[in-house]
Structure 1
Amino acid sequence: MTSAPAPERPTVLVADDEPDIRELARVLLEMDGFDVVGEAVDGEHAVEQYVELDPPPVPNVVLLDNRMPRLGGLDAAERILQHHPGQIVVLFSAHLDPAVTTRARELGVRACVSKVDTAKLPRILRDLLDG
């Protein structure tokens, strides 16, 4: 009797200019069964990482800080979503206001999560993936 193959772990690309926040997100996600397949220090690096991961393992989720040097999260999301309109992108920021969340929705970003809710990230991402 052979056992069924283990289900694939969902994959995430994490972009944040703060190393401590990237590490915290990575640890929380990996403890909950996600694979962090890339980390980026700014929006341009996130787009570069994303393109390098395509074809698979294209990440299931791209997690972007909004305020980053060189290219912010909304601009990075726009570029990624032009490349793959169905990509799940989550804006993860300490600076969410109605203008940011409205623009994110217009671009196709699936969720905006405050950094205050960091501990909820794994559940939020799973809900999006199941969704």
Structure 2
Amino acid sequence: MIKIILADDHELVRTGIRRILDDVSDFKVVAESKNGEDAVKHCRTDAPDIVLMDVNMPGMGGLEATKKIVRMSENTRVICLSMHTEHPIPTQVMQLGAFGFLTKDADPEEMIRAIYKVHSGQKYLPADIAESIAMRRITPESDNPFDSLSTRELNIAMRLTKGQKVPEIASELCINPKTVNSYRYRMFEKLGVSTDVELTHLALRHKLIDSNLL
């Protein structure tokens, strides 16, 4: 039996995924989480084999939660889910220690196949994303300025594009507001922007966020 935790802030998404997984006799969903904090807590208490982790969630996001879970338990493997497939998101989650990455529009058969593969100890990426990452290793030059950001800087950037303020980000990440501002100004310098509005426009141009969600 493969024990699974679902982590997504949208109940309808969790319900849809759970229906898919409940039809597989080898799978057992042991907990559901609506944010990264809950996912980390459930990993401590329920010892899952697999966590299906939404990258973008309120509070502790999927990136931070993945990093904590990977450090906390070598027996739990994370598969990250996102609507955004543009680099550097897939690369970042794999660098953090996730075992897999899936798009949220993946068909049920692909999700089931990914879970089996990751549970067996293999990494999983959709073919087109794997090819894109491989090509970037061959030709590392990139016109995407977000490639230059660290994981923490990218996390803060994504929160700023959602309209979150520095004190709120600091509270959710359990760091000092001055530290958030330090990351923010360093990130602005790397990206060549000077305001959160310019940051959001840049993220839109590089398809890191969806204009329909703004």
Q: TM-score scaled to structure 1, two decimals?
A: 0.85
Task: Tell me how far 1:118 sits from its aligned partner.
Answer: 4.2
Letter in 1 for 2:83: A
Structure 1 match to 2:89: 100
RCO comparison, higher one (Cα < 8 Å, 6+): 1
Aligned length in residues: 119
The residue identity in structure 2 corresponding to 1:16 is D
Residue 40 (str. 1) matches residue 12 (str. 2): no
SS of structure 2 residue aligned to 1:117: coil
* In 2: Cα distance, 1:19 partner to 1:129 partner: 25
The unaligned stretches of length 5 or more in structure 2 are 123-214
Greater C-alpha Rg: 2
- Correspondence 1:10 to 2:2: yes
From 73, 86, 96, the counterpart of 2:62: 73
Equivalent of 1:124, from 100, 109, 114?
114
Identity of matched residues, %: 28
In the other structure, the counterpart of 1:24 is: 16
> C-alpha displacement at 1:105, in angstroms?
1.4
Conserved in 1, the CA contact under 8 Å of 2:22 and 2:28? yes
Contact 1:66 1:95 in 2 (8 A): no
Match of 2:42 among 49, 56, 72: 49
Q: Please list every run of 5 or more consecutive structure 1 residues that lacks an aligned counterpart in the other structure.
A: 1-8
How far apart in 2 are the matches of 1:85 and 1:59?
Answer: 11
Shift of 1:87: 2.3
- Cα displacement string for residues 1-45 of structure 1 (whole angstroms, at most 9, x for unaligned residues): xxxxxxxx2110000000011011111011012100000001111
The alpha-carbon deviation at position 128 of structure 1 amounts to: 1.7
Deviates more, 1:121-130 or 1:62-71: 121-130
Residue matched to 2:159: none
Is contact 2:49–2:75 with CA below 8 Å preserved after alignment? no
Structure with bigger strand share is 1
- Residues 25 and 118, structure 1, Cα contact 8 Å, conserved in 2: no
Bigger CA drift: 10-19 or 121-130?
A: 121-130
Question: RMSD value over aligned CA atoms?
Answer: 1.3
